[in-house]
Structure 1
């Protein structure tokens, strides 16, 4: 067995802190910011948001790092540019997500778009691809469709929480303030992003890495705690149920019970 590199060792030694403590404190911080419990300098502090997000992304970065070659690296670069372009078009025209705007600056902004957008966008897509890989879904087309369904479910948890917090705003919507156009937009942008990732990554190596790396989906665990708790506070019941279902699947596949058990080792 290869000796773990420094990043992998850091993740393994701090799984509980990264995947449970950080998102729980993040949820508390978000709610406290939105409710006016924090001073202005700390409320939705951009540096704290970016730092916390990057910390929670560490398991995903460590997991995918050995699989990155020139082809997949170029694909990630293309998705980075795509994320900026589709977001810029969305803010300017309302296509494809519907009319929306950011109510909170998520780090440095340019033309109304967070510079750190790829740190938020690409992991959502990659986590959805990894999540569906836990199932017995076979075949490229079925896998893409399953990944897209997982991504839409992820968005059904994320967007209501973000709207409740005032992080971004739509002109109105049927699903906890989120319009149908948002989900239609994710079908478009999500399909493109999933196809790019699936085509660029070696799916055999990806599946093997996922099977042999117990912390690979810890970022998804963070997602469940962070946005599940925020939705619970605002009584967004359906998103809470979806978050619980994600957590149940992850638990059933031994994807975060090991992280929780580390509490006894502290």
Structure 2
């Protein structure tokens, strides 16, 4: 019984520490991107996403082969979809990536593939809290991802994350929904849904982060 209590306290304190790390990084990000040092902070955006993903992995309880199979599959689906989008204009519309998202492979920043996986997991952590069929959880998780994209798009354009040839097309949101739904279906069909406090807080932090930037910038 004592060992169980110690394990619970360990996971509780671990979650608090990881949440604190995320809060600090996102606060620094908000201050930096809304200050006169904005241009210096923008190239560090991919580092913020990478650190967020690492913290998320540390917080998750499931580190099975099945989970990492999903990570590789989700990353690959996201990267292939983005490659198609960048080089053909299909799925999302005509756009190109800028220089503030780190290393680029065939026109697509590697962090974008990671971000597809991260957004799936943090949106899925909220959907997992509902006692509904896993298919409906995938649908809910997809809408949560789409909701974040609505906030991200305006900031991405003014931050040189990516650029559209004209206004943001409606096809972008349709394409985003389709790809997000495919990855969410994979996630929940593999029974990987996890009610994780850190993951849920990360979703909320991203929502608040981009909402504030939309208001201030």
* Same fold flag (TM > 0.5): yes
The alignment status of 1:153 with 2:147, answered yes or no, reads: yes
Q: Do the aligned partners of 1:59 and 1:218 also contact (CA within 8 Å) in 2?
A: no
Alignment partners' CA distance in 2, 1:222 and 1:157: 12
The alignment status of 1:188 with 2:178, answered yes or no, reads: yes
After superposing on structure 2, the runs of 4+ consecutive aligned residues of structure 1 that deviate more than 3 Å are 2-11, 37-40
| Residue number among 164, 169, 191 corresponding to 1:201 in the alignment | 191
Give 1:227 shift: 1.0
Equivalent position of 2:97 in the other structure = 102
Q: Do the aligned partners of 1:83 and 1:121 also contact (CA within 8 Å) in 2?
A: yes
The alignment status of 1:86 with 2:81, answered yes or no, reads: yes
Alignment partners' CA distance in 2, 1:39 and 1:160: 16
Equivalent position of 1:232 in the other structure = 215
Taking structure 2 as the reference length, the TM-score comes to 0.84
Taking structure 1 as the reference length, the TM-score comes to 0.70
For structure 2, list consecutive stretches of 5 or more residues without a partner in the other structure: none
| Residue number among 169, 172, 176 corresponding to 2:163 in the alignment | 169
**Count of residues in correspondence between the two structures:** 213
Give 1:180 shift: 0.5
Alignment partners' CA distance in 1, 2:199 and 2:105: 32
Q: Do the aligned partners of 1:90 and 1:97 also contact (CA within 8 Å) in 2?
A: yes
The alignment status of 1:142 with 2:136, answered yes or no, reads: yes
Alignment partners' CA distance in 1, 2:15 and 2:48: 14
Give 1:5 shift: 11
